[in-house]
Amino acid sequence: MKFVSVIAHRIKVPLRRAFTTAVRSAVELETVIVELRDDAGRSGWGEAPISVVTKTTTDAVVASVHGPLWSLIVAADDVDHALALVEQSREPTVARAAVDCALHDLAAQQAGIPLAEYLNDRLQGSASAPTAVLTDMTLSIASPEDLAATALLHVSEGFNCLKVKLNAAGDPLAAMVAVRAAVGVDPILRVDANQAFTPEQAIAFIRELERADLGVEFVEQPVAAADWAGLAKVSAAVDLPIMADESVWNCADLELLVKHRGASLVNIKLAKTGGLRHARKLANRAAEAGLGVVVGCMLESSVGIAAAASFASTLPAMAQDLDGGLWLAASPVSGGAAYNGPEILLSQAPGLGITGFASASS
């Protein structure tokens, strides 16, 4: 396989409604979709979502993809060599993730199999792969009454796992009580604080959650990402499992998490790891350390979601955290993965199954 060109497409897509967390509020997706073309006329696709969370800009990603990363790709001997060079580079993480996924997409297309099957074969030695992956649904920060109404709506749409965004303002316990009262005892509830609490606030809140017996599965990133001692303090002081998200971007971060005993679960996102190659290393090391893994996403289109869901198909089945594409008013691409309520249906076409842009949005 020879690579003939790469194009970093600048994309903006309006959201169905505002997405609000403890660190930001968004009304549109700003992203870069990378299209990597080979000499057989195939296009491999990857995505670099842009936000304060991913710590870069559209201009920086486009420059990285068209400049240093393209230079690495064309100098590589083959796809595996290109992936290794991309992973080892110091380019922005989300730019590396987009190029890594595009390379994997092309490799799976060349093999004539879906990306999920390609990953399961290479990583698990399995001749088959799941055709669908389950996701939770996120509830954006809102009043207890609005959260309860939104939760009930999503349960009626078939979602049995809800992740509730909370902050330290107001009464976060009242929010969780309202959601549980609205949906009944069966749906799984998760909490995501996005670094909103001090360690002392987090401990007090989580202990209230435990006393209220609301059946919460875990609490995600209760304290600041770099506060390893605080994260460890919270984990040691409560019974509910703690999941690290913003704290862990790569294997070096994971070693710090293990050293501090900061959490019992980790949220792996391709935009943080720099792509599928490093994500697999991270998942393997987490398993060795006895940590649970959930595959998550940023606000992303179906390009990034399809790659993440394909990766999730190689891990133990559970509700992943891949609802980002459901917030978009429309998909910018045709083909690829599709949502059916809480299911992400993986394309059975070779690679990611993306056939091109849905409109002239690049």
Q: In whole angstroms, what separates CA 149 from the centre of its chain?
A: 25
Going from the C-alpha of 127 to that of each of 79, 279, 309, 335, 337, the distances in angstroms are 21, 21, 18, 24, 20
Contact (Cβ atoms closer than 8 angstroms) between residue 303 and residue 336: yes
Three-class secondary structure assignment of 207-237: HHHHHHCCCEEEEECCCCCCCHHHHHHHHHH
What b/e sequence results for 72-90 when a residue is b if at least 16 CB atoms lie within 10 Å of its CB, and e otherwise?
bbeebeebeebbebbbebe
Which of 2, 55, 163, 165 is flagged as catalytic? 165
Residue 212's CB: how many other CB atoms inside 10 A?
13
Q: How far is it, in rounded angstroms, from Cα 257 to Cα 274?
A: 19
269 is known as an active-site residue: yes
| Contacts for 131 with CB less than 8 Å, ≥ 6 apart | 116, 345, 346, 348
Contact (Cβ atoms closer than 8 angstroms) between residue 278 and residue 251: yes
Which of 163, 233, 269, 272 is flagged as catalytic? 269
Structure-derived torsion over alpha carbons of residues 254, 260, 262, 268, reported in degrees to the nearest 10 = 0
Q: Which residues carry out catalysis?
A: 165, 269
